[in-house]
Structure 1
Amino acid sequence: MADTSRRALRLLSLLAARRRWSLSELAARLDVSERTVRRDIETLRLLDYPVTTIHGPAGGYELGAGHALRPLLFDDEQALAVAVALQTAPGTVFGLGLDAARALDTLEQVMPARLRATMESLQLTRLQNYWEFPAPPIASDALKVVGSAVRHHHVLIVESLRADGTRPEPRDADFTPPRRIEPHHLVVWAGRWYLVAYDLAASTWRVHRVDRLHLHTPPGTPFTPRDFPGSDVAHFVMTSHDRGDSLATWQCTGTARLHLAAETVARWAPGGSVVEHLDPQHCRLTIGAWSWAGVAGILATFDTDLTDVEPPELVEACRRLMKRWKTIASTTSDKSDSTTDLINDPF
Structure 2
Amino acid sequence: MNVEGTTERVLRLLALLQRRPTWTAGELAAELGVTDRCVRRDVERLRNLGYPVHATAGVGGGYCLGAGTRLPPLLLDDEEAIATAVSLRLASGSVAGAAEAALRALAKLDQVMPPRLREQVRAVHGATDTLLPEGETIDADVLVTLARACRDLVRVRFGYPGRDGEPHERTVEPVRLVTTGRRWYLMAHDVDRDDWRTFRLDRMGPVSATTWRFRPREHPDPAGHVQRSVTAAPYRYLARIRLRAGAAQIRGQVPPTVGEVLADGADHCVLVVGGDDLDWLAAHVARLGVPAEVLEPAELREAAGRLSDRLAALAGTVAPAPSEPEENRA
User: What TM-score comes out, normalization by structure 2 length?
Assistant: 0.41
User: What TM-score comes out, normalization by structure 1 length?
Assistant: 0.40
